Amino acid sequence: MASSPSEPTSDDSPMISVVIPCLNEVQSVGKCVQKALAGIERSGLTGEVVVSDNDSEDGSADAARAAGARVVHEPRRGYGSAYLRGFEAARGKYFVMGDADETYDFEDIPRFIEPLHEKGFDMVMGTRLKGEILPGAMPWSHRWIGNPILSGMLKLLFRTKISDSHCGMRSFTRDAYERMGLRTTGMEFASEIVVNALRNQLKIDEIPITYYPREGESKLQGFRDAWRHVRFMLLFSPSYLFQLPGFLLSLFGLLSIGLLAAGPRELLGRTWDFHVLLFGCLSLILGYNLVIFDILAKRFSVAAGFVKPNEYLSGLVRFFTLEKGLVLGVLVLIAGLGLELKIVYDWAQGGFGQLMAVRGVALGMTAMVLGAQTVFASFLFSLTLIQRR
C-alpha cells in the first residue's frame, strides 16, 4: 500500500512523484506520462508518475497504466478531489503537479525540482505570463481578462508577487504539502495552494514556462470556475470581505450621527437633515454587522485550522467574556429603549398630536438594534471559544 503524504518516505521510495489528474483524457494522458518519465530521468533522481483518474469513461486509466503510470481512482468529481487523492498515494519527497491535456511540458521537470533539491525552496510556480503562450493555447478572455483579474485579486488580498497564480504546473516538497493542509475539491484548489503557501511563509520560486494548445475537449467552465476562485479568495480574506467595508460604513454612520443627532446643519452650502441621519443609522448598523461577521469568520478560521490567530483576534479573545458582551449589549439596548419611551411619554403629554420625533426615533431604534446584535453576537462568539477535545 502506498504511503500517505503524512508518512515519511522509506529509503526505497522515489524522490519525485509526478501527480497528474485525469478525466477522459485518453488522447493525451499517455503522452504526458511518457514525457513525465523522461523528465524524471533527465533530473537524475528516482521518480514515479501517479495518475489520479477522476472516474474517466474513455479508457484513460488503461492508457496511463500502459504508458508506465501508477493509477489511483477518485470517484468524487473535482480538480481538487483528484489531486488530493493523487498526493495521498504519492511516495516521493518532491511533488510535481500538471494537467493531462499536454498544455504543460513535463520534460521541464528538472527545472521544477532543482530549486527544491539544490536551493532550499519549498515550492516552485510556473509562470506562463513571463514565458510563452503559444497560439491557440489560451482563449483571449482568459489571457487578458480572467487570469489578470484573478492573479491581481490574489496579489491585492494576500500580498504576493506571484505573476501567474493560476498556472497548473507546480512543484513542492512533501513537507510543504503537509504544512499547507489543502482540502478544497474544485478548481479553487489552485488558489488554495498559493494562499496556504503564503500563509505558511513557504519559500517560493517562479520560473517561466511554455504553455501549449491542449489535446481534447476543455473541462473548464469559465465563469463558474472563475467564481469559485473569487469566492475562495474572499472567504479566506475576511478582512477585505467584512472588516474594511464594515469599518468604512461604521465610520460614515458615526460621523453622520455625530453631526446631525442634535439637529440640521449647514455644510458645503447646503442644509443636511434627518434624511442623511437615517442613512447614517443604516450605515452604522450594517457596518457593525460586518465587523461582527469579520470577527466570527476569523475565529471560525482559527478553530478550523485554516489560519493562525493574529494579534487583533488574540487580544479580543483575551479581553472578551460573555458577561462583558451581555452587559454592554444590554446597556446600549436599554439606552435606546429609554429614548423611545421618552418620545412616547412626551407625545402622550402633548395630547397624542402629530408625532415629528423622526430624529429621536431613528437614534433610539439604532441603539436598540446595536444592543441586541451585541447580545446575540456575544453568545455566538462564546460558542467559538469552547475548547474541543
226-239 pLDDT, tens digit per residue, is: 676 666 666 666 67
Q: Is there a single domain that holds both residue 215 and residue 257? A: no
Q: Looking at the domain assignment, is residue 11 inside a domain?
A: no
Q: What is the mean pLDDT of residues 348-360?
A: 81
Q: pLDDT-derived band of residue 3, with 50, 70 and 90 as boundaries? A: very low
Q: What is the CATH number of the domain that holds 39?
A: 3.90.550.10
Q: What is the pTM of this model?
A: 0.69
Please give the full DSSP string across 16-63, using - where no structure is assigned.
EEEEEEESS-TTTHHHHHHHHHHHHHHHTS-EEEEEEE-S-SSSHHHH
Number of domains in the chain: 2
30-64 pLDDT, tens digit per residue, is: 999 999 999 999 999 999 999 999 989 889 999 99
CA distance linking residue 166 with residue 170, whole number of Å = 10
Q: Looking at the domain assignment, is residue 7 inside a domain?
A: no
Three-state secondary structure call for residue 167: coil
Which of 215, 235, 255 is at the close of a domain? Answer: 235
CA distance linking residue 229 with residue 16, whole number of Å = 28
H or E element in which residue 295 lies: helix 274-303
Which of 195, 214, 235 is at the close of a domain? Answer: 235
Q: Looking at the domain assignment, is residue 248 inside a domain?
A: yes
Close Cβ partners of 140 (under 8 Å, ≥ 6 residues apart): none
Residue 69: is its pLDDT beyond 80? yes
Q: Is there a single domain that holds both residue 299 and residue 330? A: yes
Domain holding 318, by residue range, is 238-384
Which of 214, 235, 256 is at the close of a domain? Answer: 235
Q: Is there a single domain that holds both residue 202 and residue 254? A: no
Q: Is there a single domain that holds both residue 30 and residue 93? A: yes
Q: Is there a single domain that holds both residue 128 and residue 277? A: no
Q: Is there a single domain that holds both residue 100 and residue 155? A: yes
The residue behind cell 437633515 is: 273
Task: Give the pLDDT confidence score for residue 127 in this predicted structure.
Answer: 93
**Residue 23: which of 73, 89, 95 has the closest Cα?**
73
Q: Is there a single domain that holds both residue 209 and residue 251? A: no
Q: Strand 47-53 relative to strand 70-73: parallel, antiparallel, unpaired?
A: parallel
